[in-house]
Chains A and B, each alone.
Chain A
Amino acid sequence: MDFFLQIFTNGILTGFVYALMALAIVIIYKSSSIFNFAHGSLVGLCTFFVWQMVVGWGLPLYVAFFFELAVIAALAYTLQQLVLKPLTGQPLMAAIMATIALGELLSGIVVLFWPGPGRVLPVWIKLSILKFGPVVISSESLTNFIVCAICFAVFLLFFQKTRLGLAMRGTAEDHTLAQSEGVKVDLIFVVSWFVAILVAAIGGVLMSSLYGVSYESLHALGMKALAVVILGGMESILGALIGGLIIGVVESLGSGYLDPLVGGGFSEVAPYIVLLIVLIFRPYGLFGYKRIERV
């Protein structure tokens, strides 16, 4: 039982990072109907850039933070204006391939500038190790959990209370209608990409505290977020949270109980098996909108 509680808690804590990653994809999908397959590469690129600034160039933390924000803004603007804007209204295949190709391009850039094995980021926040009875929570996991919870809360407030957040929700409902009400839809797309890439950077840095800055694990994190989004339903922020927790727990339980039985790495595919089973019974994910269509 102690063992179960321990890995269950670990799963929940990791699940929050997945949920945050999924949130980034949901934000883009809701505003511009593009399902971002490039998320894994974006996570990798942003995290390596943080490493480059902090360790490679030795910039102070606050300078690096503002520099990163500027770079993300520039990246979001370039992506939206150069790549995605010309593709509005194209068929599904084009929308999928555009972000996949973008992912390839970005991951090529990462491999070009930061080749070889992974890097290590310095530890910024050092919390004490928590103990709840038999359950031990490491400092890194606790930091991840707190940062993710804060991010979720901030984004919920942002969408509920601020003018920009409301405009983004309006754009998600109907582009034309939002535009006729005076919302600059173009700007909203750029902002949603900015938010998404920012979230990718946060998640990448958080995961790096656990596994180091390695491109494979960061990319895998982004790919797993795709499964989380589909599991939760593509339109739902709540779905991203629940989906992230489910995938986190399944992965953790899988690595605790099944990996010793069937050989290592089963925890990597367990989330995908859960995804396939859920899709058979709930084809729009757990909280996705049902498609109602007229011919």
Chain B
Amino acid sequence: MYKKPCGVFDETYEQDSALVRTGYRWLMLVLLLACLFGVLPLFAGNYFMDAMINIAIMVIAALGLQIIIGFTGQVSLGHAAFMAVGAYTSAMLSTHLGMSFWIAMPLAALFAGLLGILIAMPALRIRGFYVAVTTLAAHYIIMWLILHGGNLTKGVSGMTAGEIRIGSFAFDNELKFYYLAMLFAATAVFLTSNMMRTKIGRAMIAVRDNDLAAEFMGINVFKTKVTAFFLSSLYAGVAGSLLAHYQGIITVDQFTLMDSIWMLAMLIIGGATITGAIMGVVFLKILQQVVLFGAPMIGHVFPIFAGSAVAAFMQIFFGAVIILFLIFEPRGLFHRWQITLSTFRLWPFPY
């Protein structure tokens, strides 16, 4: 919840229910959007644009995971599989049936969401570790189905997806796709932050805090959990579909258990809020780039490690960073950021 600075009061109902509360925040938001959509593409090269597109796509997926974990409190280890469902459905519709992205993407997202509901069915009665392992089981089953889909999913050789176009305008280079991906990501952030203030969003938080208590308060726990799983998989489906059409070709290797864990780590590192999820995505992307450039250097210094340095150090750093965050900053970067902000706001007083 956003805390207003001292002395700012809501005088009308519109002010009370506004998403952006103060003029200062409006200014920051406009500056951020101007930076993302106007300034950044002017200076950035293709490599950086590619990284930004990946970040935008991962933000959408991480927000989906945030709905199920951060707001509803059900730990899901199968998020990458739902992304795969979205990606493959979208790719199949566009390749086999020749559908345009604008029809294939919603259908793919819907299908991923419905599959999410199917997996959530046992979730009424199970909780905690049982949910985590159930979604793990779902991951293995879904990935097996995709791998053995025969001509439908093209198995190990990967699936192609057509490029996105509106009329004769095609999103065929990084710059054009960047705008599209950022637009989707911004919309997802906006929708999610609004949804959390509606009845279903608050019901999710109640279920997370204590599902029995929530049920006594008259919340339909089953419906809430199923909706959360549906929405979460829907986001994953959109992200997967975007990824498929951005890369043009997708393989099962892109949606491993490791990818689900990366997304979980984004929430741990960022902190389980919407802003936190974005921060986590960016932080892990930076870590990934550092390892990609740094690991070959370690391989140079210690030649015995040269063979597998990148893959190995990626996992080692990744595991170490999560453990360090869990021990020293379990509430994530966002919490740290808020502390920093309020320190500056109150300076020179300690509180």
Contact = CB atoms under 8 A, between A and B. Distances in A.
Interface stretch (B108-116, B280-288, B302-310): B302-310
Contact of A275 (B134, B144, B147, B265): B134
Interface string B242-256: 000000000000000
A152 interface: no
Given A86-B327, A108-B314, A115-B307, A93 B69 contact: yes
Given A115-B307, A275-B134, A100 B313 contact: no
A123 B192 CA distance: 58
Interface stretch (B56-64, B135-143, B179-187): B135-143
A272 B311 contact: no
Interface residues of A, number: 49
B264 A97 contact: yes
Between A103, A275, A285, the greatest number of chain B beta carbons within 10 A of the residue's beta carbon is seen for A275
Interface of B: 69, 73, 75, 121-122, 125-130, 132-134, 136-138, 140-141, 144, 147-148, 150, 210, 212-213, 216, 258, 261, 264-265, 267-268, 272, 305, 307-309, 311-320, 322-323, 326-327, 330
A102 B137 contact: no
Nearest to B212: A295
Nearest to B121: A280
B219 to A, nearest CB: 13
Contacts of B309: 112
A35 interface: yes
A22 to B, nearest CB: 12
Interface in A74-121: 83, 86-87, 90, 92-94, 96-98, 100-109, 111-112, 115-116
B129 A94 contact: no
Given A92-B128, A108-B312, A280-B122, 9 more contacts: A97-B264, A98-B323, A101-B319, A101-B326, A115-B307, A116-B308, A226-B133, A279-B134, A295-B216
Nearest to B315: A108
Contact of B326 (A97, A223, A268, A285): A97
Contacts of A151: none
A134 interface: no
Contacts, number: 149
Nearest to A107: B315
A291 B138 CA distance: 24
B261 A268 contact: no
Contacts of B258: 104
Interface string A265-282: 110110011011001100
A295 B126 contact: no
A181 interface: no
Contacts of B212: 293, 295
Contacts of A122: none
A229 B137 CA distance: 13
Contacts of A265: 144, 147-148
A104 B122 contact: no
Contact of A112 (B126, B144, B308): B308
A227 interface: yes
Contact of A105 (B150, B213, B305, B316): B316
